[in-house]
Amino acid sequence: MKMKGTQILLECLKAEGVEVMFGYPGGAVIDIYDELHRNPAVKHILVRHEQAAVHAADGYARATGKVGVALATSGPGATNTVTGIATANMDSIPIVVFTGQVPTHLIGNDAFQECDITGITRPCTKHNYLVRNPDELASTIREAFHIARTGRPGPVLVDLPKNVIAAEVDYDPAKIRINATKLSLPPKPSSKKFVQMLEMLRASRRPVLLTGGGILLGKASDELRAFARRAKIPVTSTLMGLGAFPGSDPLFLGMPGMHGTYYANMAISHCDLLICIGARFDDRVTGKLDTFASNAQIIHIDVDPSSINKNIVVDLPIVSDAKSALENINRLLKDNNYAPTDAERKDWLEQIEAWKKKAPLAYCQDAEHIKPQCVIETLYELTKGKAIITTEVGQNQMWAAQFYRYDDPNTFISSGGLGTMGYGFPAALGVKLAFPDRIVVDIAGDGSIQMNIQEMATAMQYNIPVKIVLLNNGYLGMVRQWQELFYEKRYSNTDMTFQPDFVKVAEAYGWEAFRAKRPEEIRPVLEKGLFSNRPCLMDFQIAREECVYPMVRPGASISEMTLGTREMTN
């Protein structure tokens, strides 16, 4: 059947199960918008900046496990997507970004709103395409979704020249063929590897599991829980993996690394076996590499072979997705009737309990000033841990990771690898669209919220009642913390005391908004703001120079932490 390219695009999106896309029109994609007007097959959310479209698609993808979709026009529309794409790339998030392009005969001529977006995004996409031939449109879109969601997921960009989407070509979904040379998954690891893993586990007296975003991406949360509990292994999770293992489980150690818990870092430093699944030994996790888990044998399970032996040389590498690896090892434990006795684990678990008691996550209460940690703890209590939390980047992100306990997968949504300020709010819009019945809260700082604050209009236009908990200290707090600790308090360009009245800004957009200045106002403001069916900003004016602790100095061993008011430990 003959169809216009724009129709084919929408048909393909429907076939991929796309329910919602986020975008912003412009000259090169006006035909797609015309098609959407006629055929509202896919719900389109008009954002106010293309960066937000990609973050919203990314938040939707992280919350649902489906592929998120964004659409932007050529030139500046396309370049505005780059931060969002790089964010998704670093965290392996499946999204497909469509960009308009000038007609093929003008490509390379410096035409109006032309840019080489496939060239620009080559290093920050899993793959990208410039569709030159309308006959290849349908197969390219199918390939793009396939690549985005399989193996180690990631962002795929599809650049669509105006004449390609305007052309009429034959479309027959049954005849779409994708290039399969590279699209199959890696071979399953041999069963010998898991037998070896079991042997190492049997020999271990002090095992630790280090899990990451790969557990969530691989939908292996149940399998992880079964494994850790049967084998009685304490679990520490990177920022990206929070929620995969319940935050309130006694075996859970919290996050390791630079702002990890004392007990997670001590457990890694003293373990004799480290089983890393779906994490990639980022420098924020490992600290000084030479001393990281230096007493341990290391097993690394990852779906991406290039992640293994990249930062840390391991004793047993296993290339596999998290789910099938955990299914394999769980089956093996059962078949061999292996479960360590309480006595076998007693010493190790007692040691960990002692570390937990010695230095729990803590902060000093203050009768005059709002402590950000207290805001998050109260938020946790009032939402009974059932909210989906997104974050911006910096201190707000670390406090959100430390003081809210995530019991369910995909309930903590944050830009880990790239550390993108301005991520959390648009991501929250994507999350809320996917889960309209859940409370969705963006935990923000006053710096990062201003990077995509324009999306307050989007939230109103489509009635997306997300909540913003603003931890407002009038500083770029994390940079200020580094300046305090490592630059002798030279607060160069981090003071943001000049700021808008955030309550009035929110109200100007039609939002509800409340402010809290004193500790006793925390609870009433949260109670007013969280449960209404309107978008709401809650401006908490927090203690200005509060720091995130524990902290490992950049380049130091993770066993050397500053615990804040207390001394250095070892």
Partner 1 sequence: MEKRENVISILVNNKPDVLARVAGTLGGKGYNIESLCVDVTVNPDVSKIILTTIGTKATIQKIEAQLARLIDVIKVENLTDVETVKRELALIRMTLTADNKNELIRKINQLNCKILTFNSDHCVLEFRGSKAEVDKVLETLKPLGIDDVARTGIAALERKN
Active site residues: 50, 112-113, 162, 478
Q: Does 434 bind partner 1 (CB under 8 A)?
A: no
Region of 11-19, 85-93, 306-314, 352-360 interacting with partner 1 (CB under 8 A): 306-314
In sequence order, what DSSP letters do the residues of 496-516 get, joined into one string?
Answer: --S---HHHHHHHTT-EEEEE
Among 310, 515, 534, 566, which residue sits at the site for partner 1 (rule: CB under 8 A)?
310
Region of 253-261, 272-280, 301-309, 346-354 interacting with partner 1 (CB under 8 A): 301-309
Residues near partner 1 (CB under 8 A), total: 18
Burial of 560 (0-12, 13-18, 19+ CB in 10 A): middle
Among 17, 174, 181, 567, which residue sits at the site for partner 1 (rule: CB under 8 A)?
181
Q: Does 309 bind partner 1 (CB under 8 A)?
A: yes
Least distance in angstroms from the C-beta of 207 to partner 1: 27
Q: Which residue type does 284 have?
A: R
Distance CA 118, CA 105 (A): 17
Q: Does 305 bind partner 1 (CB under 8 A)?
A: yes
Least distance in angstroms from the C-beta of 127 to partner 1: 4
Q: Answer positive or negative: Cα dihedral of 419, 423, 425, 427.
A: negative
Q: Does 555 bind partner 1 (CB under 8 A)?
A: no
Cα angle 270-273-275, degrees, rounded to a multiple of 5: 120
Region of 125-133, 379-387, 396-404, 460-468 interacting with partner 1 (CB under 8 A): 125-133
Among 83, 87, 118, 420, which residue sits at the site for partner 1 (rule: CB under 8 A)?
118
Secondary structure tally for the chain: helices H, strands E? 22, 21
Q: Does 205 bind partner 1 (CB under 8 A)?
A: no
Bridging pattern class, strands 273-277 and 207-211: parallel
Residue (306 or 336) nearer to partner 1, CB: 306
Among 19, 136, 249, 304, which residue sits at the site for partner 1 (rule: CB under 8 A)?
304
Sheet of 412-413, strand order: 412-413, 388-391, 440-445, 467-472, 536-541, 512-516
Distance CA 178, CA 136 (A): 10
Among 133, 191, 306, 565, which residue sits at the site for partner 1 (rule: CB under 8 A)?
306
Q: Does 133 bind partner 1 (CB under 8 A)?
A: no
Assess whether the previous peptide bond of 360 is cis (omega < 30° from 0). Answer: no
Least distance in angstroms from the C-beta of 144 to partner 1: 10
Nearest to 200 by CA among 272, 251, 253, 267: 272
Residue (78 or 433) nearer to partner 1, CB: 78
SS3 of 275, please? strand
Give the footprint of partner 1 on residues 333-362 (CB under 8 A).
Answer: none
Residue (144 or 266) nearer to partner 1, CB: 144
In sequence order, what DSSP letters do the residues of 340-367 get, joined into one string?
Answer: --HHHHHHHHHHHHHHHHHS-S-----S
Least distance in angstroms from the C-beta of 128 to partner 1: 9
Q: Does 187 bind partner 1 (CB under 8 A)?
A: no
Q: Does 295 bind partner 1 (CB under 8 A)?
A: no
Q: Could you tell me which residues come within 8 angstroms of residue 406 by beta carbon, excluding any fewer than 6 positions away?
A: 242, 243, 246, 247, 385, 389, 412
In the complex, the residues that contact partner 1 under the rule CB under 8 A are 118-119, 122-123, 126-127, 130, 147, 179, 181-183, 304-306, 308-310
